[in-house]
Structure 1
Amino acid sequence: MGEDANNKMSREERLAARLRENLRRRKARSRGMRAGESGDSGLSKPDAKS
């Protein structure tokens, strides 16, 4: 049973690390979107000039 507790703890630590990385990525993306927010949606669209 001791091994199960160790495996579970390492799994929880791995999950916690992944959640922290994901949060950092999301915050960085959000900051990037706010910094580049100048009236456009952030999506590149072809010009509709004919």
Structure 2
Amino acid sequence: MGQNSDKAKPKTPADTRKERLAEELRANLQRRKSQVRARRQGARDEASGLPASDTQKRQ
């Protein structure tokens, strides 16, 4: 019942960092989940970067 007093404390830099990292982790998880769903449906990923190696085009 004394736990409610934690919310009234000012946030330390460590607390702010933990919250930011938690948000980034959730966003990354959502991105990865959407990529898996897209692969299951046969759609391409919306990722930027180097294209995958395609050996059939090289021959």
- Shorter-chain TM range is 0.5 to 0.7
- Taking the aligned partners of 1:34 and 1:8, their CA distance within structure 2 comes to 39
Gaps of 5+ in 2: 1-9, 44-51
Q: Which amino acid in the other structure matches residue 30 of structure 2?
A: R
Kindly, what percent of the aligned residue pairs are identical?
A: 38
**Two-structure CA RMSD over aligned residues (Å):** 2.8
Q: Kindly indicate whether residue 31 of structure 2 is the aligned counterpart of residue 25 of structure 1.
A: yes
Displaced runs of 4+ in structure 1, greater than 2 A? 45-48
Q: Which amino acid in the other structure matches residue 34 of structure 1?
A: R
The count of residues paired between Structure 1 and Structure 2 equals 42
Gaps of 5+ in 1: 38-42
Q: Which amino acid in the other structure matches residue 25 of structure 2?
A: L
Q: Which amino acid in the other structure matches residue 13 of structure 2?
A: N
